[in-house]
Structure 1
Amino acid sequence: MGTLKDSWNSPEIKKKLLFTFLIISVLSLLTIIPIPGLNHYTAINTIREWGSLGTILNTLSCGALSNAAITSLGIYPFLVASIIMQILTLAIPKLRNMAQMGEEGTKTVTKYTRIASVAMSVIFGALYCIGMKNAVTSKLNFWLAIVLCGLAVAIGSAFCGWCVELLNNKGIGDGLTIIIVAGIIHNIPRDVVMLYFDAESVNVYLALGFMILGIFLMIGMLFLVLLINMGEKKLRIIFSKRTVGMKQFGMQNMVLPLKVTQAGIMPIIYSMTIILLVPSILTMIAPESENIWFTGAKNFPTSAAFIPLYVVLVVAFAFIFSMMQFNPYEISSQIKQNGGYIQGVKPGKPTAQYLMSVFSNLNSADCAFLILVSIVPMILNFIPSVNGIAYSGVGLILIGGGFIEMKTLLDNALKAEEEKLKLAGKDKKRKNYNKK
């Protein structure tokens, strides 16, 4: 709360916070605007046939999917486009070199990602229309209505992707994280009420107690997630100093903090996006189909086959994103070049081995944390009387990680503002001195 209060007192950071709140408010308002060309009642009933897949996509759209609103697809097409562009950047040398060219190269890759996002919005909008062909209103020509529906859904999805970029550039925090966390918080009241209704058929008092217990468990798990996200290992780096005449040259000793959750929440987001790609396409094409493949696609997120695939992808992405944040060999080389060493470890190859060992241990702990917290509710969801909690662990990880990420960014922004004020004060004193 102290960080938020200090941020609110800073005009520059306050402007970013207000802009972030404005974007989320606009997205929330769009969730109640119905898609033109569809019979709203029939469309909502069709979406209810999307099964457990619809629950996840509804979160990514901040609740717009369940209302058959124009932003029904939310940021899912943008997520797919971002992953495709990252894979292409790694696979194609020209794109990889472009991404390493600095600010200009990053702008070019971002431009390509924006184009890919619009293309994915059009593709998923067309798939959405195919599944909604039975919900087209009879008051308009069929083809006119279906074109209106496709355009509205594609534009709504592209707008969500644009909002992500706006939040990245002018808001506080990562746009994807902010919108996903907003969608999860939006669904919390409904999830809590569902705990009551799931147990009401057995006993009213038992249902009430079950709901209260669920609330306390969620609060406790959220605190655990926050504590783990704040956990870090500190490495003390000592730099040798050279004495020349009466002066000493060299860097000051420093502490290198290594977070337990180096990869953050991106492994969860990317894993869910990739796993749900094929099921989402099949579900959009034929939401009411009784075919075993289409039915399996709709309920795949709550099936036993989902868990091992989810674990493999989470571990893979956790390693990739951790390595992007902290490369042991690069850190070891930089420490050696600056004449430093880690306390108790020889410089050079032993430092690289030590850092790799620390990296492996932290990454293993991160993977264990992500898997344990997210999979336990998925397993409990197989109990007949305990439904609707499959993604509560995933939601808590995203909320906790999102809050910690935002706090870190606010702290960094406050430090930057303090540095600016100090420099401005020094410049003012220098000008006053020159005048004298």
Structure 2
Amino acid sequence: MDDLFYRLPQQRQVSTDYPGPNSLELTRRREAAVTAAVTPGLPGWVVDADGGVLVDADGNSFIDFASGIAVTSVGASNRKVVEAVADAAAHFTHTCFMVSPYESYVAVAEKLNEITPGHHRKKTVLLNSGAEAVENAIKISRAYTGRNAVVVFDNAYHGRTNLTMAMTAKNKPYKTGFGPLAGEVYRVPMSYPLRDGLAGAEAAERAIRAIELQVGAENLACVVIEPIQGEGGFIEPAKGFLPALSAWCTENDVVFVADEIQSGMCRTGSWFACDDEGVVPDLITLAKGIAGGMPLSAVTGRAEIMDAPVTGGLGGTYGGNPVACAAALASITEMETHDLPGRARQIETIIREILDPLAEQGTVAEVRGRGGMVALEIVDAAGRPDPTLTAAVAASCKAAGVLILTCGMDGNVIRLLPPLVISEDLLREGLRILADAITTESEENQ
């Protein structure tokens, strides 16, 4: 895997007194000024980042296996993105596209229409966050079909707004205490090969039967699904599941919405996770990796569906901000220039080389995912989810200077989301630390 340009040394370095005094002081200030409902996972406070490293206020350098939750795929300070942001901001930081338009919004829309799955005529709306993109996809679907119901899946995560909370499966910390939630949202079984043992066609038949019995196609505006589930556990459905659902939606005039907010933009070894089985969604939602860390999201889809809402029915003050649009155009160019889908596949090969052997030890039930979106499901000796061991492994990695994230309904999944520009040496070092942590913590928990 070729090294790229890096502004900072790509090395791990953690002092013995981590977290250091500067980070501790910043934590004190956070506790006094910021709601306790927002609590960071890393004790070190980041002051610089580049390539595959995060540097904290005390000079510690961490290997980044989180990418700001799949956001900084091209790096957290990619020089082309930085240049584009600076140039855009020097001209104007905002006008509101709905009031006084600018070319970069259209350029991003044109690019997304070009690279998203399918060769049909497409249109795009730009927004701010992933949750906002999902909500707008539902608004568009309802306007197009004249129906209200929305189908989502077990283990789904779609956001933290009222509607997307209703669509999200996990209660704590996302939904508890925040009701009542939006109605007309129905949940059906997801394909989860490790746990249900079903082939894709079988799992799809089960889900479709639930849709037809509990909702009815005549009431259904859209089916919304993550092609690879994110927060729910990096669950990759069995082959055939997504194509069968998409075909059923087409047959029943239901809008098929692919939520590619976490899995899109080269993350899984192709531009979009849907590409793996040739699935062409009616609408696709994008965010996270789209703009190199700047807040931007999008809904892209069939032109006739996108044009269904009334004039003025979509938009928002900051949607498609010009600085974020400039960042997006630079990020996509970097993805193309450095073949980040191919680099994601190289990352997966290295991850599996080091971590697949762990599945033979019993603690790791499965290594799953694609590209730079790979997870390990951690279980106890009886094969049950083991969130305690998972948390211990994550803590051990952080103490050693490797930032990893956990996920899953049971809190027993370690997810890996390294920047797609990470160097091979740094990737291998971080993976070896993770593998050693799993082995050591497993032995101590026996």
Q: TM-score, structure 1 length as denominator? A: 0.25
- Larger strand proportion, structure 1 or 2? 2
- Larger helix proportion, structure 1 or 2? 1
